[in-house]
Chains A and B, each alone.
Chain A
């Protein structure tokens, strides 16, 4: 094999021995400034881990708090020494689950329609509309959940069944928020499947649906799985919808029509007032934040891994 010159992504040849040019301090200074700009992103991550870790450690050092209580206790009342994070975690997962119940089927169906069925013209109109849906600020969705979906649910299931603040409406609206994300990422994955696969299947007599579901979908499964995991991670980290419509107190319940408080919603409510430094509340938001960061970070990493490892490479 011929030895290739090493290059940067944009194809600059790297300096080779014997071709050394003028020493140019100006160029060096600019390059170092650019490196510093790039290092800022790493500093941000380190900052997140360090600050969350430091303050969370103070929280875990509180008397009467053990990690086991933190992870398995079912009551979150830090002021009276009950440090169970479960109520916050369960409601986070319930709202995210409801969101995915909406977002995955609808998002997948839209993706298949856009990539396999829609004419180029239809695709060019519908995709921007979905992007608008994704670009609406989450506080607007929160308003929509509280002012429209909750009254709707209450009129369907009855006022005594559905509380004003409930997990169902927040979760459903969150599903609408995530739908475009899943649709557009899955559509990218489906469109990336080469046409020769589709044509081969048609040649064997498959119908359009069979091509879409049995040939294209499996070939794009890594991208689709990644989209779903990113969607879940978005749902878990989503804040304003749940802060507005889901509730105002930690509540250990599995009933979606009841109010509860998610991790993010709790952080927003606690820090709404002027939070005094080094209070239990102040430290607790860092502990919750650390858990949140850990969960979403892991999900994002898994998603990237899936894309890299299971991607079908054609040609």
Chain B
């Protein structure tokens, strides 16, 4: 008997160090895996920042030196001379169009200079380098640029500039911007919220406050959970079939007599916004349900007890108390919609447009779509533009999320 106990005790002691060792090893593995995820996140961000600035070799159509007059550099020439250069190098039609947009008298010197650079000098990117390469291997890059592109000008540029945000899309990488895409994103999201918020909150109120446990309501619940898991591209296909095609007269604005002359089909902002609304609807419902559920029973009972009707109770007590939670959930759902690309490709976001959307019935492009476009191009300069656009997109999403978190923290009531 004693013998058995002793041998058990021995084997226990023998094993103990092994067990502790494997415990330590696995603990390290668990921690390492967690930090690997964080490490990948930082690599991703660094890689994007790496591409937002760096050297470019610029080739000019018309060299600025050849435009300089009397030993004065192009940028120091008086405005009248610059206008003269524009007139001499542009077709009469193009020149008149600029004059009609804003007369040259009223334009500032720097604006006219920019026009000369954009329209006459026309820089094209021959080659481009990333930020870290530019900083660390600047001598090699300079040597390479001189040998490979003798007539090009090597310049250190940041792709992410105020001009990048305020200019429309262009076929010259140096002049390309994301103004059209940002406006398109804002329009689309506005319509998404307009459609999805009332529907989502309404459905959540019904499910939490009115529905009884029967097969119909169980079906709705299960169905919402399943919809939240449907791939976004399926919503795109649905949007293509319903909003773009079946409801074309509505989404193109024909019903209202508001057809945008440039579109004239259903591939409009309205279709895109409604498609995204279907996509985020389940998320808004689920988040709002949770917020409504968190409102304590005592509030409802007190309200009902003093004779309020059900809707009065909901409107005056449940909703105001659930609102911060509902808004937080909605903001998170909307930030998902802002980043969506796939459904909008299918719905038919335009590939290259450079005019601002003017109504829900306009053709459109959105920020992620623009990033997709630029990433898919083979030349490196577009990838830099895509990286710059990604930074803008991430900043937009981050500020939305920060706003949601602040909202949640500031209005968390403890009952």
Binding site for B on A (CB under 8 A): 6, 8-12, 14, 24, 26-27, 30-31, 33-42, 44-45, 47-48, 51-52, 55, 105-106, 109-110, 112-114, 117-118, 126, 129-130, 132-133, 135-144, 146-148, 176, 179-180, 183, 207-210, 213, 230, 233-234, 236-240, 243-244, 264, 267-268, 271-272, 274-275, 277, 285-286, 289, 292-293, 296-297, 300-301, 304
Contacts and interface: CB of A to CB of B under 8 A. Distances in A.
A140 B38 CA distance: 16
B19 A239 contact: no
Given A38-B220, A274-B348, A135 B237 contact: no
A275 B282 CA distance: 29
A56 B215 CA distance: 30
Contact of A135 (B19, B201, B335, B346): B335
B386 A143 contact: yes
Contacts of B37: 106, 110, 129-130, 133, 176, 179-180, 183
Interface residues of B, number: 98
A289 B233 contact: yes
B47 A144 contact: yes
Nearest to B30: A113
B206 A140 contact: no
Interface in B364-393: 368, 371-372, 375-376, 383, 386-387, 390, 393
A1 B393 CA distance: 59
A90 to B, nearest CB: 18
B34 A51 contact: no
B341 A14 contact: no
A114 to B, nearest CB: 7
Contacts of B342: 138, 239-240, 243, 264, 268
Interface in B309-329: 309-311, 318
| Most B-side CB within 10 Å, residue of A106, A114, A289 | A289
Contact of A10 (B200, B201, B238, B300): B300
Interface stretch (B62-70, B224-232, B252-260): B224-232
Interface residue SS majority, chain B: helix
A213 B30 CA distance: 12
Given A136-B44, A236-B231, A286-B241, A113 B31 contact: yes
Contacts of A106: 33, 36-37
Contacts of A14: 212
Nearest to B292: A10
Contacts of A293: 230-231, 234
A235 B278 CA distance: 21
B237 A233 contact: no
A268 B203 contact: no
A27 B213 CA distance: 20
20 contacts: A8-B210, A9-B207, A9-B211, A10-B292, A11-B297, A41-B282, A110-B33, A113-B33, A129-B41, A133-B40, A138-B341, A138-B342, A139-B341, A140-B393, A140-B394, A142-B375, A237-B234, A268-B233, A271-B236, A289-B237
A24 to B, nearest CB: 6
A147 B30 CA distance: 29
B94 to A, nearest CB: 28
Nearest to A244: B375
B131 to A, nearest CB: 13
Contact of A271 (B282, B340, B348): B348
Given A34-B210, A144-B44, 9 more contacts: A9-B293, A34-B205, A44-B281, A109-B30, A135-B335, A141-B44, A207-B19, A289-B237, A296-B231
Given A45-B223, A135-B335, A140-B371, A147 B34 contact: no
A187 to B, nearest CB: 11
A37 B231 contact: no
Contact of A37 (B44, B198, B383): B198
Given A37-B202, A38-B207, A208 B23 contact: yes
